[in-house]
Structure 1
Amino acid sequence: MTDAVSGLLELLDVERLEVDLFRGVTPDEEAGRERVYGGQVIAQALASAYRTVGEDRLCHSLHAYFIRPGDPKIPIIYEVDRSRDGGSFTTRRVVAIQHGQQILNMSASFHVHEDGWDHQHDMPEVKQPEELMSRQQLAEQFKDKISDEQLKHWMRPQPFEMKEISGLNPFNPKPKSDVNYVWFRTDGKVEASPAMQHCLVAWASDMNLLGSSLRPHGLHWINKELMTASLDHAIWFHAPVRADEWMLYAMDSPKAGNGRSYNRGLIYTRDGKLVASTVQEGLMRKLKPRKKD
């Protein structure tokens, strides 16, 4: 596996401080960011909850609220409450804390394997990942329009490969459908437990999802008139996953208004099995221009 993937696995291997108390850190290279990436906090919170659950149970759903932006310069403390240990379901509540204040609340439920009826919607027919450009190839296309610092940021190694099927031109975005397809997988093979595979997918699930709501308005992350942030995030895991194999993230945004957007996602394996679903509400605020002196 690559150094970036190895670093992510270390990031998700939260340190146990006490029986139900854990500590997670943010990579040094992220210390200059304004806030911690939301997917990191969700994945570390899930990893903390998993450390208190029997190996016979996998997470089937989690619901998280982002309360305050995380500070990337200091560790995050995760406090796990063992809400219930039942015959087939286990429930946990996790609170993430920094500077003595909550930055995230998460509830997660875990379930033993059971046989039952099975159905699902078909995966959309889309281009395969081999037909699409990588992040580095896209950055190369726009290198004459961005600063050396921005290019370095775009080209830096990432733990996940992401290939957009119909992305926006960041420098000349035009309105497009809110339907948003992205292939993703870890940048290299990962031999990890089913629990850790879930944590890896949880980390990736916060990428691109809110971007679905920007597409109909011809907006992009680099737009200086725009402020975005995840407000809440929910994941349903329908089956075990392999984060190192290509998965299709099929997303859309049925509604935006009142400074918020509603976004949905379905995650399929390459052979068409639906393995996870996501829902997120995001902040989508138009920044007021600064008054000139």
Structure 2
Amino acid sequence: MDRGARVLPGRRGRALSGRRPPHFARWRIPDQHQWRPDCRRPHPCLRLCPRSGAAVTRRGGRNPGQSRDEGGRIGRGRRSALDGDAAGARLGRAPGLRQKQGVTTNGSSSPAIPWYEIDVVALVSLEPLDANLFRSRVNQGNINGFLYGGQVISQALSAACGTVPAGQPCNSLHGYFLRGGKCDEPVIYEVERTRNGRSFATRRVVALQQGEPILHMECSFHVPEEGLSHARPMPDVPPPETLADVAEVYRSLPGELPPLIAERFMKRGPIELRPTDPDEVLRKLDRPQRRIWLRVPSAAGSDDPAVHQQILTYMSDYWLSGVVLAPHVHPMPSTDYFIASVDHAVWFHRPARIDEWLLYDTESPFAGGGTGVSRGALYDRAGHLVATVVQETVFRKRKT
């Protein structure tokens, strides 16, 4: 046995790996997880070599509910059978994609990329580690210094999509943010295949960093069927071509904005934003309602409906929570308040291309007790209701 190899209880003194790279001192098992011979939870037993990025686990590790053949093995640093272009296609990754801005070649995330440099298509592209296990390639921070919630929930949806056959799109998801994610750590996504039916499939996704969950998400996939239909009509607003970009709106008041907000919003990011009324950005509102046109031009490089759905999820978390504070605080986002999403739910009504303009009609029906609820409706240019979004957010006054 190599010196320094970790010996696991219940395995008759067998080391976790007979061979290990010389540059890796020891395999790290979280103390809160008691390893057992019949353990089938892969995330605490799986560890990644920090230099090579190889995945190493105990032999025969499988996810709950999987057969041995379905689960595959990645013992002794072998790459998963899902790795490669075939798995990448299921995750919205173009064949051969190995390196983009802010993505390291071994698949581990670099420090968080600034908002205005994010490639959203690369952000929702995950690295498969096993049949039900995926890892982020790109991280994006938020104004509080934690991972942007839209990143985590959209990547969780990407992981779930990697376990569902094509032609069965996601119809709804509901995620709970459990703790702030670290920007300098990759996120591991563990998918549980809860149910596979003829028309519906259900998945549960846990996002992990250092063995601790930062997100729990349930999502449902449904084969479209014929049936009755109705939808709330799109409000009458000016078309986006006649409106100014939000960066141009903020530039009109450079001296009135805190430096942090001016730096964040005066540069064009991956999401183009055009408020239907500039006063909704520049002034404190009489009622908690805001409407804005938005799109992600970089999504034009993908024709995969699943990728556009994942980017819509990423985009739906943006601009939504601020509507709660719109009648109370200005400017938004405010540096005087700590703002964090508690949960996020999306219902997808019809396919939409995210590189084309969508109207985001947001409102807040309630705020109190330190939290607020926001609702949003996304419409395409034809007036079709594309998605409905609901979010609860916590707001805390920062101590001076």
- Normalising by the residue count of structure 2, what TM-score does the alignment of the two structures yield? 0.67
2:314 corresponds in structure 1 to 203
Question: C-alpha separation between the residues in 2 aligned to 1:54 and 1:5?
Answer: 32
Shift, 1:53, TM fit: 0.2
Shift, 1:32, TM fit: 9.0
Shift, 1:212, TM fit: 1.0
Aligned equivalent of 1:186, options 248, 271, 296: 296
Question: C-alpha separation between the residues in 2 aligned to 1:134 and 1:224?
Answer: 22
Distance change (3 Å), C-alpha of 1:224 and 1:156: closer
More displaced, 248-257 or 213-222? 213-222
Question: C-alpha separation between the residues in 2 aligned to 1:262 and 1:31?
Answer: 20
Question: C-alpha separation between the residues in 2 aligned to 1:281 and 1:31?
Answer: 17
**Which runs of 5 or more residues in structure 1 are unaligned?**
none
CA deviations on 1:192-237 (whole Å, 9 max, x unpaired) are: 3111110010000001111111112134334333111110000000
Shift, 1:100, TM fit: 1.7
CA deviations on 1:106-155 (whole Å, 9 max, x unpaired) are: 00000012111111111100121122211331232133445777544323
SS class of match (1:39): helix
Structure of greater relative contact order (alpha carbons < 8 Å, 6+ residues apart):
1
**Structure (1 or 2) with the greater strand fraction:** 1
Aligned equivalent of 2:134, options 17, 22, 37: 22
Distance change (3 Å), C-alpha of 1:71 and 1:89: same
2:164 corresponds in structure 1 to 53
Distance change (3 Å), C-alpha of 1:153 and 1:175: closer
1:1-293 equivalences in 2 (<5 Å): 7-27=119-139, 30=141, 34-146=145-257, 151-167=262-278, 173-188=283-298, 189-288=300-399, 290=400
Question: C-alpha separation between the residues in 2 aligned to 1:86 and 1:139?
Answer: 49
Does the aligned pair in 2 maintain the 1:58–1:112 contact within 8 Å? yes
Does the aligned pair in 1 maintain the 2:125–2:137 contact within 8 Å? no
SS class of match (1:212): helix
Distance change (3 Å), C-alpha of 1:284 and 1:146: closer
Amino acid at match of 1:269: D
SS class of match (2:327): helix
Question: C-alpha separation between the residues in 2 aligned to 1:183 and 1:149?
Answer: 23
Give the fraction of aligned pairs with identical amino acids, expressed as a percent. Answer: 38
CA deviations on 1:213-264 (whole Å, 9 max, x unpaired) are: 1112134334333111110000000111110111111111000000000110
Distance change (3 Å), C-alpha of 1:150 and 1:209: closer
Distance change (3 Å), C-alpha of 1:148 and 1:168: same
Question: C-alpha separation between the residues in 2 aligned to 1:19 and 1:93?
Answer: 14
Count of paired positions = 285
Question: C-alpha separation between the residues in 1 aligned to 2:271 and 2:335?
Answer: 26
Amino acid at match of 1:113: P
Question: C-alpha separation between the residues in 1 aligned to 2:214 and 2:396?
Answer: 20
Does the aligned pair in 2 maintain the 1:33–1:72 contact within 8 Å? no
CA RMSD in angstroms, aligned pairs only: 2.3
Question: C-alpha separation between the residues in 2 aligned to 1:221 and 1:178?
Answer: 13
- Normalising by the residue count of structure 1, what TM-score does the alignment of the two structures yield? 0.90
Does the aligned pair in 2 maintain the 1:186–1:244 contact within 8 Å? yes
Does the aligned pair in 1 maintain the 2:296–2:354 contact within 8 Å? yes
Question: C-alpha separation between the residues in 1 aligned to 2:333 and 2:352?
Answer: 32
Question: C-alpha separation between the residues in 2 aligned to 1:106 and 1:264?
Answer: 19
Distance change (3 Å), C-alpha of 1:149 and 1:283: closer
Amino acid at match of 1:19: A
Shift, 1:187, TM fit: 2.4
SS class of match (1:208): coil
